[in-house]
Amino acid sequence: MLTFTRKWPVANDIATRYCFRSGLKSGNPGAHRASVPVVRDLRKRGAMASTVWKGYITFGLITIPVRLFAAARGERVSFNQIHQVCGSRIKQQTYCPHCDRVVERSELVKGYEVEKERYVIVNDEDVKSVAPASSDNMEILEFVKAEGIDPIYFDASYFMVPEDAGKKAYYLLLQTMQKSGYSAIAKIAMHQREYTVVVRPHADGLLLHTMFYPEEVREVPEFRRDDNVNVKPQEVALAEKLVEGLAADFDPSKYHDEYQQRLMQMIEAKREGQHVPSEAPKRLAPVVDLMQALQKSLGELPRKPASKAGQAEAAEATPIDKKTSGRRRRATG
């Protein structure tokens, strides 16, 4: 049965904000906008990773019990909203403008707006009744070559870990995919939606990546190839040399979020009452002469130290005969 509720007029400040220290409702509607932020501590906690999905992955008649763990998460400096008057952290509470009171979490239900000012109320049982089979069973639909998947479709990454009962079948699948060079396409339901996923082999096990659907990938009219732009072969040749000069094996440990580090340094300096120096942004002028800019860029490339293998090859390529060299010196003398 569909249940509709009327959407009542909403006040300007729906989420009533309270000051922790005073416990009094703010009388100024713009108080939250005038509040100042305070940073949360970014020190890493040694928390155990939690399972985000538990079920089975199947291909053919083989069923493997597995768990999924989030493979990565973003870390950033986050701020709290502080009441500038008393220095206390602001608390947000859910406010009902129709009843003119703060609403407890236990009174809240889910609603979907089907038309203006009308909602369909949906409870947990309704959601469970339409849950797909992929909510606890991940069936492999097909195998594809990894290079055939455009990375623009990749969303989040997960570690797939086998249960004890499924380890042999898990490593059979892993080794087969490693040897064949194929990745698996499957479907899985979690976080109240169904994902198309790619499962690919890694040195330590199977990785799962959720993917965007084609309709979720945006189309930007400005993002297109312009055939009216002509690039000269000499420019391409110089650009290739520049690329080769900057080429290296990918090492993620070399890259860090320097902006977050500077934020924390600024916060620590303010905490100690020290002056916070600012850096002037670099001004970049548009390139007028592309060839000149490429040549200058090549000249500014750092010299890469020759590897031991390269030095050995150079020595072998130009052997020196000491006896012959001595004769030549005596002959010329």
Annotate 38-81 with DSSP letters as a single string.
Answer: EEPP-PPP-PPP-EEEEEEEEETTEEEEEEEEE--------EEE
In this prediction, residue 130 has a pLDDT band, given cuts at 50, 70 and 90, of: confident
Handedness of CA 175, 179, 183, 187 (dihedral sign): negative
The angle at the Cα of 141, spanning 136 to 142, to the nearest 5 degrees, equals 145
What CA–CA distance (Å, rounded) separates 116 from 54?
39
Whole-prediction pTM: 0.67
The burial of 241, by beta-carbon neighbours within 10 Å (0-12 exposed, 13-18 middle, 19 or more buried), is given as middle
Q: How many alpha carbons fall within 13 Å on the CB side of residue 260?
A: 13
Burial 178-210 (b: 16+ CB within 10 A, else e): eeeebbbbbbbbbeeebbbbbbbbeeeebbbbb
Give the pLDDT score at 218. Answer: 94
pLDDT of residue 162 exceeding 80, the answer is yes
Q: What is the pLDDT of residues 197-246, one digit of tens each?
A: 999 999 999 999 999 999 999 999 999 988 888 888 988 998 998 888 88
End-to-end C-alpha distance for the chain, whole angstroms = 110
Q: What is the pLDDT of residues 174-188, one digit of tens each?
A: 999 999 999 999 999
Closest to 160 in 3D by CA, of 254, 66, 262: 66
pLDDT of residue 112 exceeding 60, the answer is yes
In this prediction, residue 115 has a pLDDT band, given cuts at 50, 70 and 90, of: very high
What CA–CA distance (Å, rounded) separates 174 from 161?
11
Question: What is the three-class DSSP state of 121?
Answer: strand
Closest to 185 in 3D by CA, of 177, 73, 161: 177
What is the three-state SS of 175-191?
HHHHHHCEEEEEEEEEC
pLDDT of residue 73 exceeding 80, the answer is yes
Average pLDDT over residues 191-202: 92
What is the three-state SS of 208-259?
EEEECCHHHCCCCCCCCCCCCCCCCHHHHHHHHHHHHHHCCCCCHHHCCCHH
Could you tell me which residues come within 8 angstroms of residue 108 by beta carbon, excluding any fewer than 6 positions away?
Answer: 94
Average pLDDT over residues 275-302: 78
What CA–CA distance (Å, rounded) separates 186 from 210?
10
- The percent of residues in the chain predicted with pLDDT above 90, rounded, is 41
The angle at the Cα of 137, spanning 135 to 141, to the nearest 5 degrees, equals 115
Amino acid at position 256, single letter: H
Q: What is the pLDDT of residues 21-60, one digit of tens each?
A: 444 444 444 433 333 444 444 444 445 678 999 999 998 8
